[in-house]
């Protein structure tokens, strides 16, 4: 469970960094066209149409962060429940 939590936390950090990059990009007020195929580099927050970045990318990443945080909470609850069940079974036997 610890390893999964670390993986999720790294994903959250990555998404927060992308949001920061996107906000800095929006402050510039310019439209930098991405060079990668299918505009996949736009998700890094350094390029893309400003309206897309503001209206689609940032809200999507924020929702994704919330889902990841919820997943961490679920993992913690699952771990707590497992420990409680273990204690109960050890005390009963």
Answer yes or no: is pLDDT of 6 > 90.
Answer: yes
Answer yes or no: is pLDDT of 21 > 90.
Answer: yes
Mean pLDDT of 31-39: 78
For the chain, state the CA radius of gyration.
20
- CA dist 84 and 87 (Å) reads 5
23, 58 Cβ separation under 8 angstroms: yes
Percent of the chain with pLDDT over 70: 98
Q: Domain range holding 49?
A: 2-92
pLDDT band at 31 (very low <50, low <70, confident <90, very high): confident
Question: Is the pTM above the cut of 0.85?
Answer: no
Q: What total of structural domains would you count in the chain?
A: 1
């Amino acid at each position: 469970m610890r390893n999964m939590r670390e993986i999720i936390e790294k994903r959250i950090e990555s998404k927060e960094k992308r949001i920061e990059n996107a906000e800095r990009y929006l402050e510039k007020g310019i439209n930098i066209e991405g060079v990668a195929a299918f505009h996949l580099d736009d998700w890094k927050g350094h390029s893309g149409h400003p309206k897309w970045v503001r209206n689609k990318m940032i809200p999507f990443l924020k929702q994704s962060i919330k889902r990841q945080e919820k997943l961490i909470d679920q993992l913690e609850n699952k771990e707590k429940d497992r420990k409680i069940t273990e204690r109960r079974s050890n005390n009963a036997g």
